[in-house]
Structure 1
Amino acid sequence: MHARILATALVLLAVSPVPHAKPCTRHLLVSGYFSDNVAIYDACSGAFLRQLEHAGRIDGAQAVRHNPRDNLVYVVSEGNDQVQRYRRGDDYAFVDVFAQLPADFDPTGIAFGAGGEVFVAGYGSSSVVELDAASGAVIGTLLPSDSGLLGADNGMIVSAAGLLYVPGYDTDSVARVDPASGEVEATFIAPGSAGLSETRGIVDEGGTILVGGEGSGAVYRFDAATGQLVDTLLGGLVRPTGLALDGDGSLLVLWGNRVQRYDRLTGASLGVLANGADGGISGGTFIALVPNPDFDAVFRDGFEPSIPLSTR
C-alpha cells in the first residue's frame, strides 16, 4: 500500500507543471551621464538586465520617468537637448524624440502633472517649461530664468498635492511652483539651509519632502508646507544624486556608483540593491522605478510569462 501511494505521488510530481516565480513588479532604471546610457535592473534582486538602447541616441542621461498617461518611458538627454520616448514593453523600443529643446536649455528634469501635463527643467536656462503633451512643443513657462534659482536640476518632482518642487543645483536651494495658480516661491527652501549644497534629488513623503545635497553628501527632510528643516536623515555620503522611494517604504539613494537602500525613519543602511558598474554606469545621475512589462503579462493571461504555452 505504502509503495503504491509513493509511486502515485511520484507520477503526479512528474506530470505536474513546475511553478515559476512571478517576475519582480518593477524595473530599476539608472542613468549614466558620462556613460551616455540608461541601465535596466531587476528592482527586487538588483541584477543587471539590459541597456535601454544601443543606438547611441542618449547623450548625457538625466531624468528618466514613466508617464502613466501614455505608458511610455521619457528620457532626458541633456547633451543633445532632447526628451526621448521609449515603449514600456519587452524590448523598450525607441518611439521618438518627443522634444528638441534650444541648445542653451540643457534639460535635466522631467515630471508629469495629474492632468497629463509635461514639465521639463533646464539647467542652462535655470527655468521650467511646460510641453504640449501631444507635440512636445513648449507652451508655457512655470519657473522663469530670472526667478533667482540657478541650475534647475533633474530631481524636479510634482507632489501628490500637485505642487512642483525644483532643485537649484547652483543656488543650493529648492523652488516651489503651483502650476494651477502660477505662484512661484523661488526660495521655498532657502539657499544653504542646514548645509544643503548642490541640490539634486527630491522625493515626496506627503507632509514632508526628502532633498539630497550632492555637494553636502546628505539627505535632508523638510516640511512640505513651510520649507523648514525637520531633520537630516542621512550624512556622510559621497556625492549622492538619485533618490527614489521603493514600494516597501525604504529610500533608494544613488551614490558611490551603487543604488543603496536606507530605512526612511531611522536612516539605517539596509544594504546595496544594485551596482552601477554592472550596467556600465559612469557618472550616475538619476534612478527611477518603472512597472515591469513582464509582470503585466501575468495579469493579461493569468500565467507567468516565462511558462511556454505548450505547458499551460
Structure 2
Amino acid sequence: MIQVFRGLENLPERFKGSVIALGVFDGFHLAHRKIIETAITEAKKMGVTSLLVTFDPHPRKVLNQSDGFVLPILTSLPEKIRLLSQTELDAVLFVQTDIEFLKMSPEEFILTVLMEHLQVSKVIVGYDYRFGKDRAGNAAILQEKSKFSGFDVEIVSMFSIEGEHVRSSAIRKLLLDGKVEAAWKLLGRPYSLTGKVIKGFGRGHALGFPTANILPNDSQKLIPAFGVYFSRVHVKNSVSYGMSNLGTRKTFDAQEFSIEVNLFDPPTVDLYGEEIEVELLKKLRDEIKFESADELKKQMINDKMLCMKIKNEMEDKLNGIDERYQARVS
C-alpha cells in the first residue's frame, strides 16, 4: 500500500535519498505513467525507495487566483491517491503550494527542496517540466545543474499515441469538446466523474427513466461538454452501464448544472447518499430542449437503444478495462 505524506517537513527520514518522479501529474495519463514507471525501475536498480513528489494545489491555480482564473483539474486529490496506489511506488509526497513557494528561483528549489529536504538520489521528469519563479527552470536546466549537486536527472521524452502527443492540456481540450473516446486513449482509462447520489425532482422516474442525481465531490473537476453520454458506472462494488446527462435539463427550463445517470441494470439497494463513479465512454448527442416531455421520452428510448448498440460494438474494449486503470506503457 502506497504511503501518503503532506508537507516537506513531514517526510520520514527513510524516504530521503529516494529516486523521485517530479511533476504536477494532473490527469495521471499515459505519459505520467511512463515517468512513474521509470522512477520505480531506477529505484529498484539503485536499491532505494521510489517517491512521487507533486504539488497541491495545482501551481497554476495559485498563480492565477488574483484574476479569478479557475483551472479545471482532471484528477482530484482522492483520485490521484487511488490511481497512484495501483502502481508500485513506495510513497507520494504532496508539497503545499503557495505564493511564497512559487517565488523560489530554480536554484533555490534545487538547493532547498531537492537537496536539503529530499536529499534525492535521482530525479525523473518529463521533457516539458518547468519549475521555479516564472517557470524559469526547465528539464534541461535541472539536468545541467544536477551535475554539480550530487544527484542524477533522467528526462523522459515526449510520449505519443497514434501521432497524438499525450499532454494534460490536450486531454482538457478533448474533454471540453466532448471527445471522451479520444481522451480515454491518452489517459489509458475512461475519464470519470465521482460524487454522491442526491435527491432530484423525480422527472426521470415519471418518464420511465429513473436517474441517479450526482453532486460532484470536487467542484473544480473538469466537466466535459454538455450532452448525453454512454456511461459505465461503479457503485457499491458493482458495475452497471447507463446513459448520463451533463447539463441544465433544458426541456424543463432548469438553470443549474446537473449530472443525471439512468442505470440500465441498477443495484437493488437504495443509492441515496452513496458515492458513485461515472465513466464517460462515448458522447451520444448534445443537450437538446424538447417541445414536450413526451418528445424527450421518445429521444431517451432511442438513446438507450444506441447505448446498447455501442456496448456491443465496444465489447472487446470494455473487457480491456475490467482490470481497472491497469494500462501499461511499453
**TM more than 0.5:** no
Greater helix percent: which structure? 2
What is the TM-score when the length of structure 1 is the normalising length?
Answer: 0.28
What is the TM-score when the length of structure 2 is the normalising length?
Answer: 0.27
Greater strand percent: which structure? 1
